[in-house]
Structure 1
Amino acid sequence: MTSTDVPYVFHPATEPGAPTLLLLHGTGADEHDLLGLGRTLYPGAALLSPRGQVNENGANRWFRRLREGVFDVDDVVARTDDLADFVNAVAAKHELDTRRILAVGFSNGANIAAAALLLHPGLLRGAVLLAAAAPLQDRQPDMVDLSGTSVFLGAGTADPITPIDQAHLLAEQLTERGADVTVTQHPGGHALPPNVVDEARSWLRKV
C-alpha cells in the first residue's frame, strides 16, 4: 500500500494563510471522528484526517500495543515513519505548505503525533496533544532540535488510561529538545473538557 492509499479526508482551507490541521483519531475511531473538533479549533484551516492502519480486534489504531498502557515501541517507530511518508505525499498531492502543518491528536492519535515530533523533526510546525503519553516509553528519544516547534498538551489528572505523569514526561522530553510547550491540566479523566478545547483554540491562533 502506498502512502496515498491510506483512507483519508481532506478539506481545503477556507481562510487565506490558515494552517493545515493533521487530525489523528483515538482508538476505535476513524478519519471522520475529529473533523468537528478541527473545525472548532480553527474554522478556516485545511483539515487532513487519515485513518489509523492497525487493527486491534476491529478497532483502528496507529500502532500496536502489548497491553493497555504498554506500547510496541518498534511498531511505534515504524508506523511513525509511515505517517511521515503519508503526510509528505499528501502535502505534495494537495500542494500544502509543509511549514504550516500542525497535528491535532487525541489519545492514541496524540501519541503518534508526539512520536512524529520526536522522530521526524520538521515534519510538523506544532501539535495539539490531548490525553497523550510519551510514545517511546522507556526508550530515550534522540536529542533532536525542536526549536521553532510549538506544542499544546491537554491532560487529565484523573485519567486512568493516560496517567498524568506520562503527560509530564512527554512535556519534559519535548522541552529538553527545544520545543515551546504549553501544558493545560484538568481534573477529569480521558476526555476533552470544553475549557481545554477553548484553550487549545486560543493557543492555535497564536502559533
Structure 2
Amino acid sequence: MEHVFIDKKSKNVFILLHGTGGNEYDLVNVAEMIDKNTSILGIRGNVNEGGMNRFFKRFAPGIYDLESYKNETNHLVETIKELSNKYNFKLENVTVIGFSNGANIGLGMIQEFPSLINNYVLFSPDYINSDKGFSNLEGMNIFLSTSRNDTMVDFENIIKLLSKLKNENANLDIYYGLGHRIEHEALIDVKNWYTKILKK
C-alpha cells in the first residue's frame, strides 16, 4: 500500500487512515496538532472508487461490501506489520488515527485484531459490520468523535457501537460534535487524551 513515513526520532508512532478521497498525507497536520514529536505513518487506502481513494468497497453511500471490508482490514494489518519491521517501531507504541472511511477500517481492526494495537482515535466512524461485536477490549484506549447531526451516519448505529465497546471494557472517551468532520475542539480533547495515554 502507498504510504509515507515521517520519522521524528520517537518510539511513538501515529498511523493515519484518511477519509474517502484522501491520501496518506491528509491527516499529517491533524497528527502534528495532537503531538508534534510523534512519528507518523500515513497509509493510502487500497481501493479506488471513481478516482477516490478508499480503504474498502461499498455498493453505494451507506451500503458497504462486507467481504471487501474484512479482506482489506486483513490486508491493512499485514501492511502495518510489514512497515513496523521496515521502520523499526513497536505496535505497542502505536496510536491509530482515522477519519470517516479510515475510522471505519480502524473499527474493523479492533473487531478482527483486538490485541494488535491498544490506542485508537476515531473521527466520524460508522458501525460497518454491526452484526459482529467485539471481544475483550480491556486495556484498549479509544477516543471516538461523533455527532447526532452527522448526515452520513445513522446515529442509532453509533449508540449500538458505543454500548458494545463499553460492554467489552474499552477505555472509551467520547466527543459529541456538530457533523461529519474533525473539529478543533475535538483535537484539543484528543491532545489531552493522548498526553494521558503516554503517561500510563
Quote how far apart the aligned CAs of 1:180 are. 0.9
Letter in 2 for 1:152: F
CA distance in structure 1 between the partners assigned to 2:9 and 2:37 by the alignment: 5
**Which residue is equivalent to 2:93?**
100
Q: Runs of 5+ in structure 2 lacking a partner? A: none
Are 1:132 and 1:166, in contact at CA under 8 Å, matched by a contact in 2?
Answer: no
Q: What is the aligned counterpart of 1:206 among 191, 196, 199?
A: 196
Please say if 1:140 is aligned against 2:135. no
Quote how far apart the aligned CAs of 1:34 are. 0.6
Which secondary structure does the structure 1 equivalent of 2:4 belong to? strand
Provide, for residues 18-48 of structure 1, a one-character-per-residue CA deviation record: whole Å limited to 9, x for no partner.
x211100000011111111111111111101
**Which residue is equivalent to 1:3?**
none
Provide, for residues 61-115 of structure 1, a one-character-per-residue CA deviation record: whole Å limited to 9, x for no partner.
0001121112111111111000110110000111101111111000000000011
Which secondary structure does the structure 2 equivalent of 1:181 belong to? strand
Q: What is the aligned counterpart of 2:180 among 180, 190, 206?
A: 190
Instruction: Mark the CA change 1:164 to 1:14 in structure 2 (over 3 Å): closer, same or farther.
Output: farther
CA distance in structure 1 between the partners assigned to 2:185 and 2:157 by the alignment: 21
Letter in 2 for 1:192: I
Letter in 1 for 2:190: A
Identity of aligned residues (%): 26
- The aligned length equals 197
Q: Runs of 5+ in structure 1 lacking a partner? A: 1-5
TM-score by length of 1: 0.90
Quote how far apart the aligned CAs of 1:184 are. 0.9
Provide, for residues 171-201 of structure 1, a one-character-per-residue CA deviation record: whole Å limited to 9, x for no partner.
2222222211111102x11111111111111
Quote how far apart the aligned CAs of 1:14 are. 4.0
Please say if 1:122 is aligned against 2:112. no
Please say if 1:155 is aligned against 2:150. no
Please say if 1:20 is aligned against 2:13. yes
CA distance in structure 2 between the partners assigned to 1:99 and 1:156 by the alignment: 30
**Which residue is equivalent to 2:27?**
34
CA distance in structure 2 between the partners assigned to 1:166 and 1:196 by the alignment: 21
TM-score by length of 2: 0.93
CA distance in structure 2 between the partners assigned to 1:163 and 1:13 by the alignment: 38
Q: What is the aligned counterpart of 1:168 among 159, 174, 194?
A: 159
Which secondary structure does the structure 1 equivalent of 2:42 belong to? strand
